[in-house]
Structure 1
Amino acid sequence: MTSDKSLKVCEKGHKFYKSSECQSCPTCDKENKPKSGFLSKLSSPARNALVHEGIDTLKKLSKYTEKEILKIHGIGPASLPILRTSLEEAGLSFKK
């Protein structure tokens, strides 16, 4: 079985293999993972997707519907319960 993964190097010089066009470096993702807050509870792809869209607070997240969030590349259905709970704990919810 052949692998379709290609060697990539991030701007910090970390080497990693990815099969997709995603340039996200696993080492940098670990270094950049927040210690607390709702973003710390998400997978790297989901966290990076939200930050890339400028959604870095629960207040900003509450301006979107669940459907809109799911359309963002990198966000999957497994992220929704985490996001929903985080919003509820802050007295917020997804836009209806």
Structure 2
Amino acid sequence: MNTSKELKTCDKGHKYYKSTDCPSCPTCQQESKPSSGFLSKLSSPARNALIHEGITTLEQLSRFSEKEILRFME
């Protein structure tokens, strides 16, 4: 397992270290985090998975089973 961290720069010019190939910039993720609502309570990966599926409200989320929601996170 590679644990060395590599300095990366996002499209907005933020510099950050990552030990994986994940391109998400921690600064950009924090800037895009909602200040209220249920999405503001979630981690970035969970929030991004739901937004990718077009789910931005609890009403929309309630239409899915737990099994379906867990598949979004894969």
Q: TM-score range by the shorter chain?
A: 0.7 to 0.9
In structure 1, stretches of 5+ residues that fail to align are 75-96
Separation in 1, partners of 2:23, 2:53: 16
In structure 2, stretches of 5+ residues that fail to align are none
Separation in 2, partners of 1:52, 1:8: 24
Separation in 2, partners of 1:9, 1:52: 23
Percent sequence identity over aligned pairs: 66
Deviation sequence 1:34-60 (CA, Å, 0-9, x none): 111000011111111111221111122
The 3-state SS of whatever aligns with 1:17 is: strand
Separation in 2, partners of 1:6, 1:50: 28
Q: Are residues 1:8 and 2:41 paired? A: no
The 3-state SS of whatever aligns with 2:46 is: helix
The 3-state SS of whatever aligns with 1:71 is: helix
The 3-state SS of whatever aligns with 1:54 is: coil
After TM superposition, where is structure 1 displaced by more than 3 Å over at least 4 residues in a row? Answer: none
Which residue number corresponds to residue 64 of structure 1? Answer: 64
The 3-state SS of whatever aligns with 1:3 is: coil
Q: Could you state the TM-score of these two structures normalised by the residue count of structure 1?
A: 0.65
Which residue number corresponds to residue 45 of structure 1? Answer: 45
Which residue number corresponds to residue 25 of structure 1? Answer: 25
Number of aligned residue pairs: give it: 73
Separation in 2, partners of 1:42, 1:66: 16
Computed over aligned residues only, the root mean square deviation of the Cα atoms, in angstroms, reads: 1.8
